């Protein structure tokens, strides 16, 4: 994801796992000390769960995230020689890594075309009529069909940032939006607003 700070595929995997239900800014506050203490899957695999929980507590759901990080590191060592895999199927076998996280890793750490669907992409895709589904997997397929494969990562990140900064959940900033003339959601809601 564009706002997470990382230097290696391992650091991106960890940061993305921590970003669940947490802002990137908060994750970026936590990761410098975390990466200094656990710079590799080997060091994370041997982590004391309480110490790890204490370091990641500000990201929320710290017990679950701690378990995922330790088990992810252990399986990465056991199954992939301590290297972050660069294939979707392999990534999905790791605890704490679902399709969104796997696509973030593939698209950003490995430069592979990847459609990243988070809550922002989901909202913007529906509002712009790019997908009618609420299901992230279906939205991923819909967006993959709309954009050239070489643009998947860039386009999904643009949608993510647009949703994070302009097309926000509660009070979308339609006046600032360059896509408003193409937006079915705006057409419906602006008409209702003028009737009210």
Compute CA 74 distance to the chain's CA centroid, rounded to the nearest angstrom: 22
Q: Which helix or strand (DSSP H or E) is residue 162 part of?
A: helix 152-165
Catalytic, 118? Answer yes
Q: How far is CA 156 from CA 28, 119, 160, in A?
A: 21, 12, 6
Tell me 106's DSSP state. Answer: I
Contact call for residues 1 and 157 (beta carbons, < 8 A): yes
DSSP calls for 32-53? HHHHHH--SHHHHHT--HHHHH
Give Cα separations from 142 to 127, 133, 145, 162, 179 (angstroms): 14, 9, 5, 18, 19
Active site annotation includes 134: no
The CB density around residue 164, as the number of other CB atoms within 10 Å, is 21
Active-site hit among 3, 48, 86, 118: 118
Judge whether 59 and 18 are in contact, CB under 8 Å: yes
Q: Which of 48, 86, 100, 135 is catalytic?
A: 100
What span, in angstroms and rounded, lies between the C-alpha atoms of 189 and 77? Answer: 51
Residues annotated as catalytic are: 100, 118
């Amino acid at each position: 994801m564009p706002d997470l700070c990382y230097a290696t595929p391992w650091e991106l995997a960890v940061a993305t796992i921590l970003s669940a239900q947490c802002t990137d800014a908060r994750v970026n506050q936590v990761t410098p000390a975390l990466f200094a203490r656990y710079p590799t899957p080997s060091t994370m695999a041997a982590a004391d769960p309480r110490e790890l929980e204490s370091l990641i507590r500000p990201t929320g759901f710290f017990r679950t995230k701690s378990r995922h990080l330790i088990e992810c590191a252990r399986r990465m060592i056991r199954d992939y020689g301590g290297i972050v895999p660069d294939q979707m199927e392999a990534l999905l076998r790791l605890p704490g890594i679902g399709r969104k996280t796997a696509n973030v890793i593939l698209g950003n750490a490995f430069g592979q075309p990847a459609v990243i669907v988070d809550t922002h992409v989901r909202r913007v895709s529906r509002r712009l009529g790019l997908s009618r589904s609420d299901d992230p997997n279906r939205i991923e397929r819909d967006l993959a069909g709309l954009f050239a494969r070489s643009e998947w990562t860039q386009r999904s990140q643009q949608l993510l940032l647009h949703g994070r900064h302009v097309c926000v959940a509660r009070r979308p900033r339609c006046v600032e939006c360059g896509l408003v003339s193409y937006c079915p959601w705006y057409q419906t809601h602006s008409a209702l607003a003028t009737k009210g």
